[in-house]
Structure 1
Amino acid sequence: MWRKTNNGLIGTLILTIIVMSCSTQDQNPSQVTKVDRIDNSGTNAHYISNRAPLLPSALIKLPVAAVRPEGFLKEYLLRQSKGLTGHLGEISAWLQKEDNAWLDPEGEGSWGWEEVPYWLKGYAHLGYLLDDPAILEEAKIWIEGTMNSQRSDGNFGPKHFDGDKQDFWANMIMLYCLQSYYEYTEEERVLKLMTDYFKFQLSVPDDQFLKGYWQKLRGGDNLHSVYWLYNRTAEPFLLQLAEKIHRNTSDWIGRSHDLKDIHNYYEVRGGGEVPDWYRDQIDWHNVNHAQAFREPAQYYLLSHNEQHLEATYGNFQIIRAYFGQVPGGMFGSDENARPGYADPRQGTETCGLVEQMNSDEHLLRITGDPFWADHVEEVAYNMYPAAVMPDFKSLHYITSPNMVLLDAKNHAPGIANSGPFLMMNPFSSRCCQHNHSQGWPYFIENLWMATPDNGLVAGIYGPSTVKAIVGEGVEISIKENTQYPFRESLEFQIETPYPVEFPLYFRIPSWTSAASLRINGERIKDNISGSGYIKILRKWHSEDIVSLHFSMKLKVKTWAENSNSFSVSRGPLTYSLKIEEEYIQRDSEETAIWDSKWQKGADTKKWPSWEVHPSSDWNYSLVVNGAEPGLSMEVIERPWPDSNFPWTPEEVPILIKAKGKKIPSWTLDSHGLVGELKDLPKQSAERVEDVVLIPMGAARLRIAAFPELIKPL
């Protein structure tokens, strides 16, 4: 059968296989079905779902700490807890407790905007996911301080203004923190605080509400929290507030905006007129877009208007049509997307990376569309690891698909930021320094979700363990053993107190053409293809094992709108040229971005900055067989690293041997950036050489978008 969706006509493939799956317990029949979406006509009996009149939940977020990391994901969190996120409270000026407005009952203090809740989103989750008592204790200080700041009118938090209007933006972030705290503790005071606060917001006149810049663009975050509370309390006034938030949020649905309504800084390269397509987005700031493009889909849950859902898909596609013709899943905006600057050397803020991941996770729950799971993996496993040092003690502001030098120099106007925005610095900048903390914890908690039919879905893949209530009310656990995204195999071991029937779903990524499924070693289905989900309905026993194998073929993608450059991928990973990296330590105080601040007495010597310089040639393109990439490249699997951390050039467990040719005229340009692809010749007389490609997430220096060579000489 067929149904119309935001992407047009999509066939709903229903392939049902009844098998007798042998187990040690009994002859156990399994019903296996391939679907493009999970049926949401029912309502999960165990986890809070959307309450009418909101549209039914497509997928349901599990409570915080129901999903815990294993393998390299746990190693990432451990490094994060020992690194910058775990120690920002000791060094960041915005997190000092003295004179901090987040800890003052009246909301007064010198430090009181987005930095505390940005950091707390990830920091508290480290405590929840790692059961770290020190982190939990520290996080509780900030949570309690925030709850104690609520005033008689229902308002809470710092008294922060955008002009003469209250700035509601920072409170939107803190609401995320309070919601997670409630999910972890079931502290009822959170519900009361949010109820009283939302009554206060409803009382604010429209001409005083969500005015200014950041908060008006990011109203979708406020809307998310209103829905969260409505699904728990059913207070009718919350739906009124939801309508009010939407009508006062920037217009992410409309097209052909008047330029005076697009408030982000912009310039057109070489002067000239702003192109017509630039009017089709209300804002082009990279972080605003990454987190706010989803607002129409959020409002769609209340409006039921398909055009609102389509607007979110459209927003995603529009920015990528003009600035996203690059590998890694993001778009080349630096701070703000500028017409004429779309080369793969343009990048995205680290804030933009983690906010895009968060948006993808929201949209997976809202729509059930596996597209968003594919995309969050693309960003999380390609761009995000490269933005942060392996010890998680420093990061940089801008990460690009092509980036061959990280130093403390000013590279403007080649990038849209004036200052040392490329080097790895623990204090740069006040937004990314704090906001990057949410990336991995939020990703991990969304690996598994509940389904409307009292089942579970592995929607995003990574080593983990989930504990959840399924079927008629039985708590089970599933351990996902895998070295995905580097390896093709995933194994899921089920533990139940007694045999229990429930549906278990697994996402089939769009990039695989030959997935296979085994249950307890027995072949169930091979050559599964097409984005969607495999549903297995059966009575599960302890130690049942589901095995998935996703064939990862080498692929070459051409980016026609970016000088016909091309990239190489295998499964969810994109590969970049391996460049030898030389690390040069710099003084963090001397090289920090202008708005960086640290606490008085903080030992900045313990937190050095790093320049990364290339110590090998980088100006190569590849000689590939585009039709059959496997004929011109060889995949080499290496042992899994003892460190359990596969995101460095030395420890990647997989690489690709390829052939390349240097392009001698491809050098750094006058801005100190890798030369743009549009200026390069299409031929090279240089000899063919052996080159090595590694996953781009493991490369702090990288060439991931290769120049076109029409016919190598």
Structure 2
Amino acid sequence: MRSIRHIAVSLLIMLPVGLLAQPWEECSLRDIEPGGWLLEKLQTQRTGLTGHPEALSYPYNTCLWAGEIPRMGDHGRDWWRYEQTAYYTDGLLRLGYLLDDRQLIEKGEAGIGYTLEHPWENGRLGSPLVDYTWPFAVFFRAMKAAYDVSPDPAILQALTRHYNSIPLAQLVRKRDIISLEGMLWTAGKTGDKSLTARADSAFRMRRELLGDRKLSRDDRVTPEFLRSPEPYKMHGVTMSEILKLPIMLYAATGDPWYKDLAVYSLDRLYEEDGLPDGLFTSAEWLQGREIRHSHETCNAVDMTWTLGYFLEILKAPRYADMLEKIVFNAGAGSVTADFKALQYYSSVNQFIATGTSNHNKDNYCSTWMAYRPTHQTECCAGNIHRLYPDYAARMWLRGKKEAVAALYGPSRFRYSDALSFTEQTEYPYGQTVTITAEAAGRKQRARLTLRIPGWCTGASLTLNGKPVRKPLAAGTFVTLNRRWASGDKVVLTLPMKAERNEAYGGGAWFERGPLVYSYAIPADFRKDTVRYANMNGKYPADDEAFPCWDIRPSGAWNYAVPADAQPEDDGAHLRIPVVPIEWDWDKGPHGELLTPDIPKNITPTGPEQYLELVPYGQTTLRLTVFPVLEGRNQP
């Protein structure tokens, strides 16, 4: 086995990182001012669950990381409550910075202060009750957000001691390996090459360092596992989290082996398990590409976070495209519009969402697909708070003398004290992005980089009303390098074409730009006050203000599309021809109604009609992937 010293020496003789393209970086959230629809989303989040953790019940109604969290009953392991509240704290704090909300900021920073003031004797950070570094690997992200806003050397010193306190034998085990994220970030800030060397050794030699002991579930994700010809069989969150590590190690070491492994593994995950809404199946475990399978809401957040690293390091537009698609579709569709209830599992097709409608094998016929503020296992109820703040954090990135509009949304970006850019857009609902410069005093030199999404053909760009003579190919970035004066206006037009796609295993679905479209099934919302046994005594603090929902269809959902059907586009909605068909519920052992799979044999039951489709993220009950009726035979 190679020694750590050998690894460290080998790093020193590798190609210097400086010869690589310098990665883009996240900005301080103080430099991003959300506007328009994005500001409305964030404000709704504040008045919803993020601002009312008591509605989430345990463990969010505790001190969070500003003290020791007591157990409640026998449910869950000791580390669960720290992982879950770390997710929440990260989202809470980022939301506070974006909205300049002192109350949210103080609540989030209180946990950071307590954690820094109460290290273990050896420098380890986190609860002394939990000798598992995964919860702090999550909490690190809140500390990163705080450092980006106000660089405090005490944070870097504490993080360095923390990562040095983790023995290599522990670092490679289970989700302790996710500590490499914070370790590499800390090394990048401090220049501590020993941290980079340990991270390189832990990941590259993980299988060897684990030895001959019986491997746990999360131990198995090694470079050998990722390259194995066997289909990926793994917990979805573990995959979402680990896939960021090789791309971060590529940035830290310059070794192209890491880049190749990262790109290959991410591509393969989507080839084996990808769904139309931008995410992948993950009813706890990866499930394949069949439309009937759900995805865990945690992955809508964790994968967008991982894709952010791919975007920053590889500077490839496709990762921004993937990130947007998850947020606007899978992510938005898993939480109610008022941000007061969410699903643990969410599906591309879901015709019912009740306390007994979970059609996945995991926790079959339970509450896991209902829109509720409280859930049996609490991770998704904490993680959802990161979705929109993380999107806002990656909208604008910094390069060397460069402002990068990587993701689109209404906002104002402070590039420097003397130069800001204001972005006005209805994107993803509109196709025009207008960016106006604001320079204090004399003109300011900077590069402004804009993304042309991979789905967009025929993009156009003007500067102060005149066409920009630069290539605007789909899936590229375009850069304007100039001295900016106040009032300089850039207008980017991204034509969005409605398209029909064929689903894996049969069926058709429709998209326009970054948005997937669904039929919003007419729904009957009723407050569900049943105290389900699987909830371990947890229920919302206020059933009226933050109810659990029993949502059942109040209209038909059993439609197919003709084989030659194409969408009509009015700019806001899509319209498609459909035919009603025989398609009945699946049922659980006690008659529970469950969303059925797409039928293989299709029998029409009525004449052709038209349905209006709306953006997936605006739906609760939805039909997204339609069965396909060959021919146009009428009953």
Please give the range of the TM-score, normalised by the shorter of the 2 chains: 0.7 to 0.9
* 2:563–2:630 Cα contact (<8 Å) kept: no
Q: Which moved more, 1:176-185 or 1:87-96?
A: 87-96
For 2:45 and 2:207, the matched residues in 1 are separated by 34
**1:529-586 C-alpha deviation (Å, 9 max, x unpaired):** 3210111122211011100111111111112x322x2211111111111311211111
**Shift in Å, 1:430:** 0.7
**Shift in Å, 1:636:** 2.5
Partner of 2:313: 366
Partner of 2:271: 321
For 2:372 and 2:570, the matched residues in 1 are separated by 33
Residue number among 59, 68, 72 corresponding to 2:33 in the alignment? 68
**Shift in Å, 1:594:** 3.1
Partner of 2:224: none
**Shift in Å, 1:675:** 2.3
SS at match of 2:369: coil
Residue number among 409, 423, 426 corresponding to 1:483 in the alignment? 426
Q: 2:551 aligned with 1:607, yes or no?
A: no
Within 5 Å, give how 1:223-242 maps onto structure 2. Answer: 223-242=180-199
Task: Note closer, same or farther for the CA distance 1:419–1:513 as it changes in structure 2 (3 Å cut).
Answer: same
* 2:137–2:181 Cα contact (<8 Å) kept: no
Q: 2:625 aligned with 1:684, yes or no?
A: no
SS at match of 1:583: strand
Indicate the percent of aligned positions where both proteins have the same amino acid: 24
Q: Which runs of 5+ in 2 are unaligned?
A: 1-14, 72-77, 221-226
**1:359-404 C-alpha deviation (Å, 9 max, x unpaired):** 1111101111111000011111111111111111110111111111
For 2:170 and 2:266, the matched residues in 1 are separated by 30
Within 5 Å, give how 1:303-382 maps onto structure 2. Answer: 303-324=253-274, 326-338=275-287, 342-382=289-329
**Shift in Å, 1:227:** 2.3
Task: Note closer, same or farther for the CA distance 1:699–1:593 as it changes in structure 2 (3 Å cut).
Answer: farther
Residue number among 587, 590, 595 corresponding to 1:670 in the alignment? 587
For 2:524 and 2:261, the matched residues in 1 are separated by 45
SS at match of 1:577: strand
Partner of 1:536: 480
**Shift in Å, 1:248:** 6.8
Residue number among 606, 616, 629 corresponding to 1:696 in the alignment? 616
Partner of 1:451: 399
Task: Note closer, same or farther for the CA distance 1:63–1:54 as it changes in structure 2 (3 Å cut).
Answer: farther
Partner of 2:244: 294
Within 5 Å, give how 1:117-266 maps onto structure 2. Answer: 117-161=86-130, 166-201=131-166, 204=167, 206-211=168-173, 213=174, 215-216=175-176, 219=177, 221-247=178-204, 263=217
**Shift in Å, 1:408:** 0.8
**Shift in Å, 1:238:** 1.7
Task: Note closer, same or farther for the CA distance 1:312–1:129 as it changes in structure 2 (3 Å cut).
Answer: same
* C-alpha RMSD of matched pairs (Å): 2.9
Amino acid in the other structure paired with 1:468: Y
For 2:336 and 2:106, the matched residues in 1 are separated by 27
* 1:515–1:526 Cα contact (<8 Å) kept: no
Task: Note closer, same or farther for the CA distance 1:486–1:410 as it changes in structure 2 (3 Å cut).
Answer: closer
* 1:118–1:437 Cα contact (<8 Å) kept: yes
SS at match of 1:94: coil
Q: 2:383 aligned with 1:435, yes or no?
A: yes
Partner of 2:7: none
**1:479-524 C-alpha deviation (Å, 9 max, x unpaired):** 1100011111111111011212221111000111110001112222
Within 5 Å, give how 1:447-596 maps onto structure 2. Answer: 447-452=395-400, 454-469=401-416, 475-497=418-440, 498-525=442-469, 528-559=472-503, 561-563=504-506, 565-587=507-529, 590-591=531-532, 593-594=534-535
**Shift in Å, 1:316:** 2.2
Given the two structures, how large is their TM-score scaled by the length of structure 2? 0.87
User: Aligned residue pairs: how many?
Assistant: 596
**Shift in Å, 1:128:** 0.5
Within 5 Å, give how 1:626-645 maps onto structure 2. Answer: 629=566, 633-637=567-571
For 1:300 and 1:592, the matched residues in 2 are separated by 47
* 1:66–1:445 Cα contact (<8 Å) kept: no
Which stretches of structure 1, 4 residues or longer, exceed 6 Å deviation after superposition?
A: none
Task: Note closer, same or farther for the CA distance 1:235–1:493 as it changes in structure 2 (3 Å cut).
Answer: same
For 1:371 and 1:236, the matched residues in 2 are separated by 31
Amino acid in the other structure paired with 1:491: T
Partner of 1:646: none
**Shift in Å, 1:605:** 4.9
For 1:228 and 1:265, the matched residues in 2 are separated by 23
